[in-house]
């Protein structure tokens, strides 16, 4: 790997550490129980107007059941509105290219995809969606779906902190404050930087121009920069163009590439610092940060050198894959020259360690073990550092699992932040840990037995299995990236992918809220000789190990039959 690759990684690490320390305290104040928060003079009048229009009492808190009902009701209604907009697209304004109505099956899949923060796209954005759909439908869900994830994470934190409380906050307040105080300001600033670097932001129709060589080329317009900022900041990933962040009009240069990766990582890592502030023990936040950071960094240090090393089969034929002044070097199949193979490895690790799914290269063209990194990242449950809110509550679920396992091993009381972890919580934790693997392995297993599903694969053998498993892992974990060899716009995949997205989103959120409600009702117990300390490097190591072991026991057979067999067979 070149010096430039190491410098890129170092710059991203530095940006994440600095922003975590700066953004984390702000998030803690936004979500804290104090009545005053930064920016009240600007944001509070807007929020009060929203509460009045929606008839919401911001001072009235909710039990976990009401909080969950509010989340589900909001998601159902907003999903139906988006579905209707897609079906009626041809009759709506801001459609300069005359895009027709989106077919019913694809509308269902797309509405569920953006509703669940997945942003899986079985279509080419520039030839399917109008400017109004992109801006007033898909981008809106980029904001609110991310805000829903943050709201659930904050509710779980309140459950850990509060004593003998029947409430965990107000969903409508958490949703509104996340959107107005966090996502909108950061997305606006990010969009301005992207525009300054040449990312498209207009309402133009597709224009046909002549190239220098005399050929013709169609250049699509649209509000791209604004959607690019929030799609990455909110861990959404669905872009206006089919090539996503590999498209030069969406991600034109290394500066925007680095900015996009920082946007992806900023909020999930900052939420760990906010968590430490909210539980009044910063060590707890740094433990979660350390576990997330270690998993993300290990993935990057595996994928980047593997892609930089190139394809050994080409080397055996005498091809020079070294990085020189005249060539990028490495495994350049499916890569953009302006980012290179190393940039692909870092971006792939970042976008699948979160629930973003944005891409700057073709994951399907990575070397087998390099492609295994994004696949395993998603199998971890996308907690390295995960989505907006979902990464934090996912890691906290593993923290509860870790203290329970530690209690069984050394005979200490299963406690976390003074709350005893008992049968009720562990049943919900087990449900959380099993729901997604069951969906992935069941639907992927059924698909490899169906001829109609297999006909959508571009490859056979172990790589074909990887494509199939990758797709169901991506949608079930609300990521949205894909191995490009699978054509998913069929009745079977539109339906099953939609079901997996709903399962991976709401059948995890509801147990998390139930755990929050159960913990909030408990009275904390003072630390004793039997209390396992959770604010130490030892617990950070235990937490990381539990994540790896649980995921390894669940998915190792299918990973062995896919990427590992492909690597051992030399099929690069």
pLDDT digits (tens, 9 = 90+) for 263-304: 999 999 999 999 999 999 999 999 999 999 999 999 999 999
pTM check: above 0.75: yes
Sign of CA dihedral 483, 302, 17, 381: positive
Sign of CA dihedral 458, 460, 466, 472: positive
Q: To which residue do tokens 């907006």 refer? A: 388
Q: Residue 413's pLDDT is what?
A: 75
pLDDT value of position 458: 85
Please name every residue paired with 95 in a beta bridge, in sequence order, or none if there are none. Answer: none
Q: Does residue 47 contact residue 39 with C-beta atoms inside 8 Å? A: no
Helix (H) or strand (E) holding 170: none
Domain residues of the chain, as ranges? 3-568
Residue numbers of the chain with a pLDDT score lower than 70:
none
Alpha-carbon distance of 352 to 264, in angstroms, equals 10
Are 162 and 145 spatial neighbours (Cβ–Cβ below 8 Å)? no
Q: Is 516 exposed, middle or buried (0-12, 13-18, 19+ CB in 10 A)?
A: buried
Whole-angstrom distance, CA of residue 549 vs CA of residue 71: 32
From residue 501, give the alpha-carbon distance in Å to each of 25, 109, 298, 476: 32, 9, 27, 5
In the prediction, which pLDDT does 153 show?
98
Structure token digits, residue 61: 């808190």
The set of residues, in sequence order, having a beta carbon less than 8 Å from that of 289 and lying 6+ positions away, is 20, 269, 272, 273, 385
Tell me the pLDDT tens digit for each residue of 467-495.
999 999 999 999 999 998 888 889 999 99
Q: What is the 3-state secondary structure (H, E, C) of 453-475?
A: HHCCECCCHHHHHHHHHHHHHHH
């Amino acid at each position: 790997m070149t010096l430039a690759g190491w410098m890129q990684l170092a710059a991203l690490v530095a940006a994440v550490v600095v922003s975590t320390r700066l953004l984390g305290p702000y998030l803690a104040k936004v979500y804290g129980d104090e009545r005053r928060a930064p920016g009240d003079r600007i944001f509070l009048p807007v929020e009060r107007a929203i509460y009045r229009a929606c008839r919401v009492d911001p001072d009235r808190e909710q039990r976990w059941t009401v909080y969950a009902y509010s989340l589900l009701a909001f998601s159902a209604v907003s999903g139906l509105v988006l579905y209707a907009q897609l079906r009626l697209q041809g009759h709506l304004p801001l459609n300069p290219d005359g895009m027709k109505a989106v077919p019913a099956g694809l509308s269902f899949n797309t509405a569920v995809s953006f509703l669940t923060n997945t942003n899986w796209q079985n279509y080419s954005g520039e030839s399917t969606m109008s400017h109004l759909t992109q801006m007033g439908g898909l981008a809106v869900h980029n904001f609110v779906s991310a805000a829903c994830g943050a709201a659930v994470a904050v509710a779980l934190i309140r459950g850990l902190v509060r004593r003998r409380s029947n409430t965990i906050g107000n969903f409508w307040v958490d949703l509104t404050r996340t959107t107005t105080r966090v996502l909108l300001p950061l997305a606006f600033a990010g969009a301005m930087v992207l525009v300054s670097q040449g990312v498209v932001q207009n309402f133009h129709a597709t224009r046909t121009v002549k190239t220098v060589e005399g050929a013709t080329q169609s250049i699509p317009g649209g509000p791209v920069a604004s959607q690019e900022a929030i799609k990455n900041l909110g861990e959404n990933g669905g872009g206006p163009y089919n090539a996503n962040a590999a498209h030069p009009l969406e991600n034109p240069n290394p500066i925007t590439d680095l900015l996009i990766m920082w946007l992806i990582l900023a909020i999930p890592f900052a939420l760990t610092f906010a968590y430490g502030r909210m539980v009044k023990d910063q060590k707890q936040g740094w433990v979660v940060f350390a576990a997330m950071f270690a998993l993300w960094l290990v993935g990057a240090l595996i994928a980047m050198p593997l892609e930089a090393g190139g394809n050994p089969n080409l080397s055996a034929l005498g091809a020079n894959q070294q990085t020189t002044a005249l060539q990028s070097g490495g495994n350049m199949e499916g890569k953009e020259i302006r980012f290179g193979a190393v940039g692909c490895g870092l971006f792939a690790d970042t976008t699948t360690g979160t629930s973003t799914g944005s891409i700057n290269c073709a994951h399907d063209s990575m070397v087998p073990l390099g492609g295994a990194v994004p696949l395993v990242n998603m199998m971890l449950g996308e907690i390295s550092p995960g989505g907006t809110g979902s990464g934090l509550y996912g890691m906290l679920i593993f923290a509860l699992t870790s203290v329970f396992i530690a209690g069984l091993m050394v005979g200490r009381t299963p406690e976390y932040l003074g709350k005893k972890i008992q049968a009720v919580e562990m049943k919900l934790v087990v449900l959380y840990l099993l729901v997604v693997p069951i969906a992935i392995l069941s639907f992927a297993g059924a698909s490899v037995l169906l001829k109609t599903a297999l006909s959508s694969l571009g490859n056979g053998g172990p790589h074909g299995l990887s494509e199939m498993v990758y797709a169901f892992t991506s949608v079930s974990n609300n990521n949205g990236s894909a191995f490009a060899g699978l054509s998913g716009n069929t009745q079977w995949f539109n339906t099953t992918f939609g079901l997996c997205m709903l399962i991976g989103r709401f059948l995890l959120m509801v147990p998390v809220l139930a755990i929050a409600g159960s913990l909030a009702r408990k009275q904390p117990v003072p630390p004793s000789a039997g209390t396992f300390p959770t604010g130490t490097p030892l617990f950070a190591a235990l937490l990381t190990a539990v994540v790896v072991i649980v995921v390894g026991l669940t998915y190792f057979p299918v990973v062995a039959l896919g990427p590992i067999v492909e690597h051992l067979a030399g099929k690069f």
